[in-house]
């Protein structure tokens, strides 16, 4: 599916009312946060990178240890037996229960009572992109939204699941970071860049991706000398920044960002060569009201 482009809310374009969020930092001492800033994803490129990572709980927290190769990711082969995919799922579930859940029962019992994630991750529904796997999030560390609704403009033209998840994670869970992550070879961005008529139509796909028209316009203006594939890659990243600006149109997001309680980050996963690029929106230097190019970034890193 297409890359995540979070639509701005038409209900939040006027004055920004101020409100305070309630505190809900429970279970934080038991589940330590894996710092994105310090992550180098070295384990992704090591000879043992195909081995799974097993959680090991203790009174000091949760750590990662190497697990046996039986959890190595593999494609489910096609079979004439319709039950085969679910037989594979059953095997994976029972392996998870035996090697992770039962061995870390205290941690999972605490997570059953409450959650206190540090991150909200808004990711594409593309099956090749799994934030919890590629970024090594442990249970309870990230509130992940992977839904096609990420691309639908909220309230007026589509479902509002993403808005509800955003409001809940910011106001109730009080996450400290929001990461909007996109990826390479995005079919939705290619469809967007190929469209000549961006008006609403009866096509769900067309109405779905057209919300990224600002990113497309910026790409056409700044990367017109590049080939189509390179323009698409430029637009994939531009749409992430467009999403970060759209987040600031929500009053409770803008309020916490202005107070330094919340940071907005962009991420780009290139699964062709397994690299990850991350950056942070510079709130002080950004101008959400500017139609194109109204953002400034900082703390850019490239993990390879």
pLDDT digits (tens, 9 = 90+) for 199-257: 656 676 776 677 778 888 888 888 889 999 998 899 999 989 988 988 998 999 999 99
Exposure string of 208-236, with b = 16+ CB inside 10 Å and e = fewer, is bbbbbebbbbbbeeebeeeeeeebbbbbb
The rounded mean pLDDT for the chain is 74
Closest listed residue to residue 181, CA positions, set 137, 227, 226:
137
- For residue 14, the model assigns a pLDDT of 36
- For residue 153, the model assigns a pLDDT of 39
pLDDT digits (tens, 9 = 90+) for 148-205: 444 333 444 444 677 888 999 999 999 999 999 999 998 888 888 888 765 656 676 7
- pLDDT for 42 beyond 70: no
- For residue 194, the model assigns a pLDDT of 86
CA distance 104 to 102: 5
- For residue 161, the model assigns a pLDDT of 74
Domain extents in the chain: 26-303
Cβ-contact 122, 181 below 8 angstroms: yes
Provide the annotated binding site for Zn(2+): 124, 126, 183, 186
Cβ-contact 295, 302 below 8 angstroms: no
pLDDT digits (tens, 9 = 90+) for 118-133: 999 998 888 888 888 8
User: Is residue 146 within a helix (H) or strand (E), and if so which, with residue range?
Assistant: strand 142-146
- Residue 50, C-beta contacts closer than 8 angstroms, at least 6 positions apart: 69, 72, 73
- For residue 215, the model assigns a pLDDT of 86
- pLDDT for 6 beyond 70: no
- For helices 228-247 and 213-222, what crossing angle results, to 10°? 130
Query: Mean pLDDT across the stretch 4-10?
Result: 52
The DSSP annotation for 229-245 comes to HHHHHHHHHHHHHHHHH
Can you read off the two tokens belonging to residue 80?
């004439």
More confident call, 61 vs 115: 115
Cβ-contact 241, 295 below 8 angstroms: yes
- pLDDT for 281 beyond 70: yes
Name the least confident of 6-15, 32-41, 84-93, 98-107.
Answer: 32-41
- pLDDT for 97 beyond 90: yes
C-alpha pair distances (Å), 283 with each of 119, 146, 175, 272:
18, 25, 17, 31
- pLDDT for 46 beyond 50: no
Rank 66-75, 79-88, 257-266 by mean pLDDT and report only the highest: 257-266
Q: Report the predicted TM-score, pTM, of the whole model to 2 decimal places.
A: 0.70
- Residue 97, C-beta contacts closer than 8 angstroms, at least 6 positions apart: none
CA distance 130 to 122: 11
- pLDDT for 302 beyond 70: yes
**CATH number of the structural domain 26-303:** 3.40.1050.10
Rank 46-50, 109-113, 212-216 by mean pLDDT and report only the highest: 109-113
Query: Mean pLDDT across the stretch 135-148?
Result: 85
CA distance 206 to 247: 22
Provide the annotated binding site: 124, 126, 183, 186
- For residue 264, the model assigns a pLDDT of 97
29 CB-side CA count, 13 A: 2
* Antiparallel, parallel or unpaired: β 53-58 and 61-66: antiparallel
DSSP assignment letter at 78: P
User: Is residue 266 within a helix (H) or strand (E), and if so which, with residue range?
Assistant: strand 263-270
Closest listed residue to residue 109, CA positions, set 174, 31, 23, 32:
31
- For residue 103, the model assigns a pLDDT of 95
């Amino acid at each position: 599916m297409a890359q995540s482009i979070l639509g701005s809310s038409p209900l939040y374009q006027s004055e920004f009312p101020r409100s305070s969020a309630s505190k809900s930092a429970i279970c934080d001492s038991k589940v330590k946060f894996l710092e994105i800033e310090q992550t180098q994803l070295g384990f992704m490129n090591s000879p043992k990178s195909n081995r799974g990572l097993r959680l090991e709980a203790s009174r000091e927290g949760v750590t990662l240890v190497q697990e046996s190769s039986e959890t190595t990711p593999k494609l489910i082969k096609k079979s004439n037996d319709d039950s085969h995919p679910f037989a594979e799922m059953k095997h994976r579930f029972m392996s998870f229960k035996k090697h992770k859940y039962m061995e870390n029962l205290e941690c999972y019992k605490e997570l059953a009572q409450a959650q206190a994630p540090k991150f909200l991750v808004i990711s594409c529904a593309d099956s090749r992109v799994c934030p919890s796997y590629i970024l090594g999030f442990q249970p309870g560390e990230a509130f992940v939204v992977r839904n096609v609704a990420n691309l639908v403009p909220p309230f007026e033209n589509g479902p509002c699941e993403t808005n509800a998840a955003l409001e809940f994670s910011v106001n109730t869970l009080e996450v400290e970071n929001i990461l909007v992550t996109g990826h390479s070879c995005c079919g939705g961005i290619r469809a967007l860049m190929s469209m000549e008529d961006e008006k609403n139509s009866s096509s769900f796909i067309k109405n779905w991706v057209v919300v990224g028209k600002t990113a497309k316009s910026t790409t056409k203006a700044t990367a017109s000398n590049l080939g189509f594939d390179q323009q698409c890659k430029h637009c994939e990243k531009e749409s992430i920044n467009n999403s970060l600006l759209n987040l600031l149109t929500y009053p409770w997001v803008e309020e916490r960002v202005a107070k330094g309680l919340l940071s907005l980050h962009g991420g780009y996963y290139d699964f062709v060569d397994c690299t990850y690029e991350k950056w942070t929106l510079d709130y002080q230097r950004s101008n959400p009201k500017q139609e194109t190019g109204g953002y400034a970034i900082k703390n850019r890193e490239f993990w390879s």
